[in-house]
Structure 1
Amino acid sequence: MKKIILALLLATASLYALEVQNTTIKFTAFKTYAKKGVSGVFDKIKINTSKADTVVALLKNATAEIETSSVNSGNKGRDAKLVTQFFNVQKVKKIEAKIIDVQKDILVLQLSMNSKTLNIPMSYTVSDNRVNAQGTIDLADFMMLKSLKSINKACYTLHKGKTWQDVNIYFTMQYK
């Protein structure tokens, strides 16, 4: 009888396990001295998570692998420049991310790009079966100033001579 009750409890618990349904990774980079934002997403990302009983458990140790060639800003010409004049300059083919800590309103994203790994704090909210997180990276911290200089040169007129080195990063994770 105890085995039957335990089996029923385990089966019931698994019915309420949360799992990720969809994830979007977005960025906003900045150009011109007026700091005009240019946003985009990455179309090719691999997300690894496990079912969990809580949102915090779902987030902990979630990982993502982002193909930089899949950058999508809604402008094919811009996307081609971002690949050739930014990511390819320093041979950055992928970006890896892992959530290593989750607190009440802050999570810590371990971000790896250009052979450099840093812990990035991100604020997050949870509502309507969705986690929204946002943070900021400095390209200098990832040794990406050579790429920044290249994209600034390639887009000098459009950027009016200024491409900023800080980039806002976001992710949205829907779960059920």
Structure 2
Amino acid sequence: MKKIVYSLIICFTISQMISCKSEAKKETETTKEEIKTEKQAAFVLQDANNSINWVAYKTTEKIPVKGQFQKVNITAGGEGNTAKEAINNAEFSIPVSSIFTSDTSRDFKIKKFFFGIMDKTELLSGKLVLENDSIGYADLTMNSVTKKLPFKYTLNGKEFNLNATMKISDWQAQNALDSLNTACKDLHKGADGVSKTWDEVALTISSIFK
């Protein structure tokens, strides 16, 4: 009788151990599936083909000077079931070191005599807010000043395009603009002999989702 009871206890213990292992395995598999699901957003802004182009202006005749930032990091948000969800409320940072104008001398001067004069100049940062299907704004931080930058945008399928015009003085950076103009005095001189760097930059940003 004792042997029978003992055998029953052993069988029960083994069955409980197998059951626990099975449940633990199920929980692990479920957890892995949940993590996998969380990472599978249909639209991921960081993985999109992002480009940030700008146009500044020099001389009285307002001659355009084109450039771009070659790197942007999405620091918060930036994912969603639609392109609009991924873009709306996405936070970003742009390293100033990624500036590119096809002229290394100009790049150096912009970094040193323009951004280098500003406060906390290593990064530009902000947050994108889409107000409706055609307009929005960016809470853009530059020179330790955060201001709203209104923009117009289009969204066709997987392609997002934004256009905005910013005034440098709105970010209290007139001294940085003056510094750049002094460094480029002769290069920013027009036919009238006046050296001028405009307080206006046009921005064109596009994101093409994969």
The TM-score normalised by the length of structure 1 is: 0.86
| Matched letter for residue 62 of structure 2 | K
C-alpha separation between the residues in 2 aligned to 1:81 and 1:50? Answer: 33
| Structure 2 residue 42 is the aligned partner of structure 1 residue 17 | yes
- The equivalences for 1:26-41 within 5 A come to 26-41=53-68
Q: Which has the higher strand share?
A: 1
Shift of 1:40: 0.9
**CA offsets per residue over residues 102-141 of structure 1, 9 Å max, x none?**
3111121110001111111111112352111010111111
Partner in structure 1 of residue 74 of structure 2: 47
The alignment partner of 1:33 has SS state of coil
Shift of 1:101: 3.2
Moved over 4 A (4+): none
User: What is the aligned-residue RMSD (CA, Å)?
Assistant: 2.0
Name 2:155's counterpart in structure 1: 126
> In the alignment, does 2:141 pair up with 1:112?
yes
What is the alpha-carbon distance in structure 2 between the residues aligned to residue 31 and residue 130 of structure 1?
A: 31
Match of residue 125 from structure 2: 96
Kindly indicate whether residue 102 of structure 2 is the aligned counterpart of residue 74 of structure 1: yes
Q: Which letter maps to 1:56? A: K
Question: Normalization by structure 2: what TM-score?
Answer: 0.73
Structure 2 residue 163 is matched with structure 1 residue 163:
no
Using a 3 Å threshold, how does the CA distance of structure 1 residues 162 and 50 change in structure 2: closer, same or farther? Answer: closer
- Uncovered stretches (5+) of structure 2, i.e. residues with no partner: 1-35, 190-194
Q: Is the 8 A contact 2:41 2:79 kept in 1?
A: no
Q: Residue by residue, what CA displacement relative to the aligned partner does 1:18-60 show, whole Å, maximum 9, x if unpaired?
A: 2232211121111011111111111232124443122221111
Amino acid across the alignment from 2:87: L
Whichever structure has more helix as a proportion of its residues is 2
Figure out how many residues of one structure are paired with residues of the other and give that number.
165
Structure 1 CA distance for aligned equivalents of residues 116 and 156 of structure 2? 37
Instruction: Specify the structure having the higher radius of gyration (Cα).
Output: 2
**Do the aligned residues in 1 keep the contact of 2:83 with 2:158 (CA within 8 Å)?**
no
The percent identity for this pair of structures is: 30
Relative distance call for 1:16 and 1:70 in structure 2 (3 A) is: closer
Give, in angstroms, the shift of residue 16 of structure 1: 7.8
